[in-house]
């Protein structure tokens, strides 16, 4: 009410360089129509404070003014300071209007109402009609929205459909929003009329409209040239954009991701059109695009995750994936004969990407990997880590790296993995490895290997690698192992209810279980 009063009396809201004379009688307080203003109340602060206090007093039941022009009653209101112009009955609907008609005790006559922006007749007064005009334009969003929509004409609004809901257009609403079958229209004093139609309107509604994550409508729809990625359109909202791709699919791009997206060329750039809505958790956002996955963090850093890394994230929750958030950009690395790929640091470990696969080496396995020489020795990971009880392992080009509790990491070479699998894996009789494979030379001069496990040994000879339990291994060693009369194993150990049996180059050994 005070804002409108300042504008109605001296035009101070829209005057950016008011004179001292206007400021000293800003609200017209103590300025009767029939006498000069009282200098005791001069000054902007004095005027605003006095007017606000007086308006408040008018609404207090103990005030002598309270029963003058009471709420809910049709009261005679003067048309002009000249009493001979007469009165008109006005029904006062609320205390604010009650206070207004005591502060400015005149109501416009028919001549004034017929010419709101001009001059009526000698009995016309304009104080409250001017107040109504400013208040309606600034605060009656519903009336302004309806008027603006009517002004657009059928050429614009014919495809909007039926009005569904305009309940947000309350007297105190900063922005009035009307929901139609195929459109959403909004109005406020600063932006005026804004509207969104078609598939973008459908998406906007599904995102909560004005009260949703996008906020109010900012700009009209614009056509976007996507180059070789095809053309589409987009529309700007307070907190982001809705993009409509060449297939008419629509996706939300929030402002923080948009800034980076636009720097890469937008739909015509390497990322192409969005393929999902933005997803945000605790200030971190991620979004799928045709050319990769974009992440933004709370500290406004952005990363494009493409290739197999991006595909994994797109399929596994993005910013909520098991990898956690990325901590650096991907780097190209070459590991000798194992070839070239990329590595990237994430919250929960390091991701290794080779060709069309990407796997995390969890922090818990990093020390074990280092124990066996790192990826320079074992090559690229070929699968995600596997935890079984207290054992953590992961398959690499050169074999399986195993971490048992707090023990040092051990590598089971690739050519021993088949024997391990046929023996029941690490949950079978062999158990987990207790050492790395060591060179083991036979009587024939062949250089093979042996690797100890909790319950046995894997021996690799000229035929292949084969597993044997401790009982067979001990018996084998009593005959000098590969240097003895039996030579190298040629098959895995077999068991019955009573015996272990295993074949060798020159015979077989049987021991009790």
126 with 148, same domain: the answer is no
Model confidence over 258-288: pLDDT tens digits?
A: 888 888 899 999 999 999 998 887 777 888 8
Model confidence over 104-152: pLDDT tens digits?
A: 999 999 999 988 878 899 999 988 888 887 887 777 666 677 777 777 7
274 with 187, same domain: the answer is yes
Place of tokens 């996008």: 214
Three-state DSSP class for 213? coil
266 with 167, same domain: the answer is yes
Q: What is the pLDDT of residue 372?
A: 95
Domain count, the chain: 3
Q: What is the pLDDT of residue 473?
A: 97
Contacts by residues 345-352 (CB-CB < 8 Å, ≥ 24 positions apart): 347/323, 348/322, 348/323, 348/324, 349/323, 351/309, 351/323, 352/380, 352/381
146 with 223, same domain: the answer is yes
120 with 156, same domain: the answer is no
Domain hosting 133: range is 2-139
Name the stretches of the chain with pLDDT < 50: none
| In-domain check, residue 337 | no
| In-domain check, residue 101 | yes
Q: What is the pLDDT of residue 201?
A: 96
Model confidence over 44-84: pLDDT tens digits?
A: 999 999 999 999 999 999 999 989 999 999 999 999 999 99
| Nearest Cα to Cα of residue 157 among 203, 204, 196 | 196
170 with 72, same domain: the answer is no
- Bridge-based pairing of strands 447-453 and 438-441 is antiparallel
164 with 114, same domain: the answer is no
118 with 38, same domain: the answer is yes
Model confidence over 341-354: pLDDT tens digits?
A: 999 999 899 999 99
Given a contact cutoff of 8 angstroms between Cβ atoms, the answer to whether 72 and 92 are in contact is: yes
Q: What is the pLDDT of residue 454?
A: 96
Tell me the C-alpha to C-alpha distance, in Å, between residue 82 and each of 31, 85, 105.
16, 6, 12
Q: What is the pLDDT of residue 256?
A: 79
64 with 101, same domain: the answer is yes
Q: What is the pLDDT of residue 404?
A: 87
End-of-domain residue from the set 278, 312, 344:
278
Tell me the C-alpha to C-alpha distance, in Å, between residue 453 and each of 332, 438, 485.
37, 12, 24
Mean pLDDT of the chain: 90
End-of-domain residue from the set 139, 156, 191:
139
| In-domain check, residue 15 | yes
6 with 132, same domain: the answer is yes
Given a contact cutoff of 8 angstroms between Cβ atoms, the answer to whether 128 and 101 are in contact is: yes
131 with 176, same domain: the answer is no
34 with 70, same domain: the answer is yes
Strand ranges, E, within 33-142: 74-78, 87-91
Q: What is the pLDDT of residue 47?
A: 96
Given a contact cutoff of 8 angstroms between Cβ atoms, the answer to whether 125 and 108 are in contact is: yes
Is the pTM above the cut of 0.85? no
Q: List alpha helices for 14-62, DSSP H.
A: 20-24, 44-58
Which DSSP category does 393 fall into? E
| In-domain check, residue 80 | yes
- As a whole number of angstroms, the distance between CA 464 and CA 472 comes to 18
């Amino acid at each position: 009410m005070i804002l409108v009063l300042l504008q109605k009396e001296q035009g101070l809201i829209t005057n950016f360089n008011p004179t001292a004379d206007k400021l000293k009688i800003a609200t017209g307080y103590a300025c009767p129509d029939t006498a000069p203003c009282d200098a005791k109340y001069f000054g902007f602060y004095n005027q605003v404070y006095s007017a606000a206090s007086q308006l408040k007093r008018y609404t207090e039941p103990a005030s002598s003014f309270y029963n003058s022009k009471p709420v809910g009653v049709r009261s005679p209101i003067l048309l002009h300071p000249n009493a001979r112009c007469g009165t008109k009955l006005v029904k006062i609907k609320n205390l604010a209007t009650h206070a207004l008609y005591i502060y400015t005790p005149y109501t416009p006559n028919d001549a004034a109402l017929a010419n709101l922006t001009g001059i009526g007749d000698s009995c016309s007064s304009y104080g409250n009609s001017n107040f109504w005009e400013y208040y309606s334009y600034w605060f009656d969003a519903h009336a302004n929205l309806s008027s603006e929509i009517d002004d657009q004409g059928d050429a614009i609004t014919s495809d909007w459909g039926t009005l569904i809901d305009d309940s947000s257009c309350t007297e105190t609403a900063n922005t009035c929003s009307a929901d139609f079958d195929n459109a959403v229209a909004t109005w406020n004093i600063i932006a005026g009329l804004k509207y969104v139609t078609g598939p973008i309107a459908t998406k906007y509604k599904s995102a909560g409209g004005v009260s949703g994550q996008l906020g109010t409508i900012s700009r009209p729809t614009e056509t976007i040239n996507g180059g070789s990625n095809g053309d589409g359109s987009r529309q700007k909202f307070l907190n982001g954009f809705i993009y409509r791709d060449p297939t008419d699919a629509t996706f939300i791009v929030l402002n923080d991701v948009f800034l980076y997206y636009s720097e890469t060329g937008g739909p015509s750039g390497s990322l192409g059109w969005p393929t999902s809505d933005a997803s945000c958790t605790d200030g971190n956002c991620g979004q799928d695009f045709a050319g990769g996955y974009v992440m933004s963090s709370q500290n406004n850093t952005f990363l494009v995750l493409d290739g197999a890394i991006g595909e994994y994230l797109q399929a596994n929750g993005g910013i909520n994936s098991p990898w956690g958030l990325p901590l650096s950009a991907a780097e190209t690395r070459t590991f000798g004969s194992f070839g070239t790929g990329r590595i990237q640091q994430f919250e929960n470990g390091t991701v290794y990407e080779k060709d069309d696969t990407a796997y995390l080496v969890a922090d818990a396995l990093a020390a074990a990997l280092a124990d066996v020489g790192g990826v320079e020795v074992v090559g690229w990971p070929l699968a995600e880590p596997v935890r079984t009880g207290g054992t953590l392992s992961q398959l690499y080009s050169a074999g399986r790296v195993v971490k048992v509790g707090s023990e040092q990491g051990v590598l089971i070479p690739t050519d021993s993995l088949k024997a391990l699998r046929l023996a029941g894996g690490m949950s079978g009789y062999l158990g987990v490895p207790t050492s790395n494979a060591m060179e083991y030379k036979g009587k024939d001069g062949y250089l093979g290997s042996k690797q100890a496990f909790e319950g046995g040994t894997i021996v690799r000879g000229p035929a292949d690698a084969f597993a044997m339990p401790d009982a067979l291994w001990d018996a084998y060693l009593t005959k000098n192992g590969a240097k003895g009369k039996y030579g190298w194993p040629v098959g895995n150990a077999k068991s019955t209810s009573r015996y272990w049996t295993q074949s060798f180059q020159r015979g077989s050994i049987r021991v009790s279980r």
